[in-house]
Amino acid sequence: MSEAKIRVRDFVSDPVTPKEIIGRFWDKVYYMIDIDEIVYDLISDYDIAMDEQKIEGWYMEEDTDEKDSLRDQVLTQMGCEFH
């Protein structure tokens, strides 16, 4: 497993921050699993319902669609904006 390098610095004047730990957390998680694929699979569970209700724009093969937009929103809210 790839370990992120911890930069050398004066930890008294430049302490470790929650943002730094969260970033390292997501680096490690993203290395271990495909978060984007899991989120997209969860969203795809709604495909049948969207088809039944004839929701326009839910899925378009060649274009950005509602599923893609929802995936981006979910990943952003999860703090996983680097997909």
Domain range list for the chain: 1-32, 34-83
What percent of the chain shows pLDDT beyond 70? Answer: 92
In degrees and rounded to multiples of 5, residue 82 shows phi and psi of -95, 10
Of 22-26, 27-31, 34-38, the range with the highest mean pLDDT is: 34-38
Q: Give the per-residue pLDDT at 6.
A: 83
pTM given for the model? 0.66
Q: Which of 31, 43, 28, 44 is nearest to 75 (CA)?
A: 43
Q: Higher pLDDT residue, 46 or 4?
A: 46
